[in-house]
Amino acid sequence: MTFDDPLRTEPVSRLFGIDRGQPIDRYYIEKFLESNREFIKGNVLEVAEDRYSRMFSDPAGQPVFHILHVEKGNEPGRLQGDLTRPGTLPESQYACFICTQTFNFIFEVQQAVEGAYRLLKPGGILLATVAGISQISAYDRDRWGDYWRFTAQSTEKLFCQIFGKDNVVLKVYGNLPATKALLEGLAVEDLPDPALLDHPDPEYPVIIGIVAKKN
């Protein structure tokens, strides 16, 4: 499958390409986490599952894995909490919080970033990603809502207000072919050369990665 049908009215996949291979946005999310794996150590919290914590953690940092979920569960390390409700969250407990593709689906997004800040120990690191250009996620929309798409400017302003300007570093991932592929529902495996994804164009943000440190 290529980009040879610009007038196609239906995407190849409505599941972000996950039914075809590695989704374009996940390619960038994993590049972001790989480049920041030095921070994934100590008490590590991740939203919904601990897959990325285990995949990218630094073994020398003796990571201990925890999961943040809105629903109760019995597995070890599971924390039931809501980022927008500080009373449900422990304070200053985690050295690293991995929060990928979550803030797009929380209407009270500023409160959610404040919740992420609350969870971290002093010196702790938030590793977050948000979507820029993207289709609506029907799965999330029908369960808790799909509210936001971000730019580098809006992301920087949002996180700097809470973490402080000197404590936030952004990286923008994406370009025109990546954007087209994502909206078509293509996977990385569909591309003639995955290196097409590795030429950043900040005017076509697919994923914005955030490294934010709590003082």
Q: What is the pLDDT of residues 146-170, one digit of tens each?
A: 999 999 999 999 999 999 999 999 9
Domain assignment present for 1: no
Within a domain: 5: no
Does residue 2 lie within any of the structural domains?
no
Separation between Cα atoms, residue 111 and residue 163, nearest integer Å? 13
Residue 75: give the domain boundaries: 24-213
CATH number at residue 90: 3.40.50.150
Tally the domains of the chain.
Answer: 1
Is the residue at 6 inside a domain? Answer: no
Does residue 4 fall inside a structural domain? no
Per-residue pLDDT of the chain (215 residues; tens, 9 = 90+): 445 677 778 999 999 999 999 999 999 999 999 999 999 999 999 999 999 999 999 888 899 999 999 888 878 889 999 999 999 999 999 999 999 999 999 999 999 999 999 999 999 999 999 999 999 999 999 999 999 999 999 999 999 999 999 999 999 999 999 999 999 999 999 999 999 999 999 999 999 999 999 99
pLDDT in tens, 44-68: 999 999 999 999 998 888 999 999 9
Beta-strand runs (E) in the chain: 43-47, 64-69, 78-80, 94-100, 120-131, 168-173, 207-213
> Does residue 14 fall inside a structural domain?
no
Q: Is 11 inside a domain boundary?
A: no
pTM above 0.85, yes or no: yes
What pLDDT is stored for residue 1 in this prediction?
44
Q: Within the chain, what is the greatest distance between any pair of CA atoms?
A: 52
Write out the two tokens for 166. 């000197």
Q: Is residue 60 part of a domain?
A: yes
Cα dihedral across residues 147, 151, 157, 158: positive or negative: positive
Q: How far is CA 197 from CA 5, 9, 156, in A?
A: 20, 24, 23
